[in-house]
């Protein structure tokens, strides 16, 4: 096992870019993994490739996987409406239609497979349990359960090489993440958080992701460079 090699899930958004920057700063040989899972726009995959290069990833892989077939998510089904202009109270209540069933379970499984192949003992994911829109697979207990699964379900685990799941943003607010990203020199103009951006990448300003990001920048006291 190479103890300082890690796989980092990279979506192209603010949170995952900050997570990659943190892994690199901590001295990991960070291998970035982006999954094109059938989301309604491919721009975030393009942004992820750019961020992997500028943030110092040792390598970057893009995996194509169709998560449109289960349906039930407005992120993958263009016939479903993406929630817009919701209040902070509404965003904090319930699980919105943008939830993709079991997405983080699938993404972590892909990351786990690559990590074991690389001999990596660490896997990073940029989830936060505070500004997460209520997604169940962004909670600490989910990550703890997946870490246990990785131990009992892999050759590395049965040979005593436990994989560690890192979620360095799990207890941070969006404002905290903005501050951390700026501290690490992440080019936030490249990051894309919007669920329904225009073809040129301009954020809609109305979806939950846009509203959480806007609040994060406002609370942190900075202008969002992605909004031009």
Tens of pLDDT, residues 181-201: 999 999 999 999 999 998 888
Q: What is the DSSP letter of 81?
A: P
Residue 190 lies in a domain: yes
Any idea what the CATH number is for the domain that residue 178 is in? 3.40.50.620
Residue partners of 18: CB distance under 8 A and separation at least 6: 126, 169, 177, 180, 181, 184, 186
pTM, 2 dp: 0.94
pLDDT over 80 at 46, yes or no: yes
Q: In which domain, by residue range, is 131 found?
A: 2-223
Distance, in Å, from the CA atom of 81 to the CA atom of 89, rounded to the nearest integer, reads: 19
φ, ψ dihedrals at 143, nearest 5°: -65, -40
Residue 228 lies in a domain: no
How many domains would you assign to the chain?
1
What mean pLDDT value characterizes the chain? 92
Per DSSP, which regions of the chain are E strands? 2-9, 29-36, 59-64, 120-124, 164-166
**Could you give the 3-state DSSP secondary structure of residue 130?**
coil
Tens of pLDDT, residues 61-96: 999 999 988 778 999 998 999 999 888 888 878 889
φ, ψ dihedrals at 111, nearest 5°: -65, -40
Residue 214 lies in a domain: yes
Residue 58 lies in a domain: yes
């Amino acid at each position: 096992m190479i103890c300082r090699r890690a796989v980092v899930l990279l979506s192209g958004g603010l949170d995952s870019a900050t997570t990659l920057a943190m892994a690199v700063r901590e001295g990991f040989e960070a291998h970035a993994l982006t999954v094109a899972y059938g989301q309604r726009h491919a721009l975030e995959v393009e942004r992820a490739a750019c961020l992997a290069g500028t943030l110092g990833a040792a390598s970057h892989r893009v995996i194509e996987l169709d998560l449109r077939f289960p349906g039930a998510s407005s992120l993958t089904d263009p016939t479903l409406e993406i929630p817009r202009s919701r209040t902070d109270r509404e965003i904090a209540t319930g699980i919105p239609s943008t939830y993709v069933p079991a997405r983080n379970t699938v993404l972590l499984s892909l990351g786990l497979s690559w990590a074991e192949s690389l001999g990596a003992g660490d896997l990073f994911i940029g989830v936060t349990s505070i500004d997460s829109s209520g997604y169940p697979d962004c909670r600490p207990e989910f990550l703890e359960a997946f870490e246990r699964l990785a131990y009992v379900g892999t050759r590395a685990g049965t040979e005593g090489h436990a994989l560690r799941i890192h979620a360095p943003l799990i207890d941070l607010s969006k404002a905290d993440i903005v501050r951390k990203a700026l501290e690490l020199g992440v080019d936030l103009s490249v990051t894309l958080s919007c669920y329904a951006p225009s073809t040129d990448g301009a954020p809609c300003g109305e979806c939950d992701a846009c509203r959480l990001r806007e609040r994060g920048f406002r609370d942190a006291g900075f202008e969002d460079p992605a909004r031009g």
